[in-house]
Amino acid sequence: MKNKLNINRTILFLLFCSLPTAFLQAQQQARRPNVLFIASDDLNDWVGALNGHPQVLTPNIDRLAKRGTLFTNAHTQAPLCNPSRVSIMTGLRPSTTGIYGLAPRHRQVERTQDVVTLPQYFAAHGYRSMSAGKVFHGGISPEEREVEFQEWGPDGGHKPFPEEKIVKTPLDMVEHPLIDWGVFPEHEDSLMDDYKVASWAVDKLEELGEGDDEKPFFMAVGFNKPHVPLYATQQWFDLYPEEEVFLPLAPEGDRNDIPDFAWYLHWYLPEPRLSWVIESHQWRAKVRAYLATISFMDAQVGRVLDALEAQGLDDNTIVVFWSDHGYHLGEKGITGKNTLWERSTRVPLIFAGPGVTAGARSSQPAELLDMYPTLVALAGLPEKDEVEGLSLMPQLKNADAVRERPAITTHNPGNHTVRTEHWRYIRYADGSEELYDHRQDKEEWSNLADHTEYADIKKELINWLPEKDAPLAPGSKHRVLENKEGSWYWEGEAIDFNKLIR
């Protein structure tokens, strides 16, 4: 009898060992955490948890920060939508891909046409991938729809539009229909594209919570606001009475110690200069509209987080919130992005969920392309060697863990900034420089690059500049700066500094 029992145990053991690999993989997948990947567009550090503006109201992003780890010194790889998002989704720097402008798309470039993007990598490891809104840069092609995500929700966008622009004063450089701000529509949030994206995510989370799919999910939800046009309903503007809105600090003469070449990075743009918004009596109105659209977007984030919690999915879901780059509201004499200064490079970055320390703040430099290896590590997937970011796992376990590498932002070939915990160094393509000590000068008002006592600091920071700058990829256009035989060209037109609009 004893021998028979031993034989039966042996048979059971052998049967267990011979279980199909697919079954074991399914069991492993069921234990893996889900990923909720939430993006905002053109959001700088004007978030309550980052204290970027004293009046901003972002209760939902703030509660996410309390649930997880907030990176207070996170920076984009490019201060422009397309190259930033390509970098995030491929894990490669603009100086590697050659994608610096609003075109081309990554599948149109030889270096990246076959790259395995973040959602593809998760799908290849058993995840159900889905996306809605602006995650990749807008206007997803049919070819991209076939390969990037398995399921697609609404594209999102800028709608609805009023019959006429609210701000009717002609712009100072490039007239553009998206450069507008004010109350629209009057009351119905549900008409807004971002609201529809959030509604799709809420419905999808309800479906996932009620279903019996054993696959973990990777859900990307991209909100357009506070990208222009800065439209929101009246309730969000009511949070910020115009006469009480605090304006950013923008002292006259701030650019006196800045190289002239800095103007080349935002030479001729739809976004108006500070001089225009002042002369047109629109500075406070634009700041108010930016704040209102942030709060509207935050409410949509809240709707998605509420749905995640209502379905009991929050305990096993990694949530990451990020913005693709920052935005100027008058600082350095401009509005918009396209700079290598703090206002344009610094972004919110929050991780929450399993494997993440709650209520933590890390001041270590972080990069948006770090999200790829970090999410891979949090999900327990095999490391992907090809990505250029570093996993933030040490900081997610211990916010004080030191990170040796700084954050690097690039805007067109040869223009880079290096951001450490305390310093920002900028090198432009003509060799001109800026250096700021953030312990004494968080507004970056005093350029120390020519001060000989900081030569050693500069030398150390210069060592982190990319060794090679990929040339502009074929098909590059829109906000691209190029050197042709010693002369500088902006979007194909020769730059004449005598025509600078300040």
Determine which one of 53, 75, 106, 137 is catalytic. Answer: 137
Q: Is 483 left (phi over 0), alpha (psi -120 to 50) or beta?
A: beta
> Torsion angle of alpha carbons 17, 22, 28, 31, nearest 10°?
-130
Give the C-alpha separation, 419 to 341, whole Å: 10
Give the C-alpha separation, 145 to 88, whole Å: 18
Give yes or no: 137 in active site: yes
Structure tokens at 180: 């507008």
Alpha carbon 456 to chain centroid, angstroms: 32
Contact 85, 144 (CB under 8 A): no
Give the C-alpha separation, 475 to 471, whole Å: 12
Q: 191: burial class by Cβ within 10 Å (0-12, 13-18, 19+)? A: middle
| Torsion sign (Cα): 316, 323, 73, 372 | positive
Q: 11: burial class by Cβ within 10 Å (0-12, 13-18, 19+)? A: exposed
**C-alpha closest to that of 327 among 287, 283, 299:** 287
What's phi and psi for 200, nearest 5 deg? -60, -45
Determine which one of 81, 125, 328, 411 is catalytic. Answer: 81
Q: What 3-state DSSP class applies to 366?
A: strand
Return the residue matching tokens 């399914």: 26
CA angle 47, 53, 58 (to 5 degrees): 30
Give the C-alpha separation, 76 to 363, whole Å: 15
- The amino acid that residue 397 corresponds to is K
Q: Which residues pair with 355 in a beta bridge?
A: none
Report in angstroms the alpha-carbon separations of 265 from 134, 412, 415: 25, 8, 9
Give yes or no: 266 in active site: no
Contact 40, 325 (CB under 8 A): no
Q: Is 157 left (phi over 0), alpha (psi -120 to 50) or beta?
A: left
Catalytic residues: 81, 137
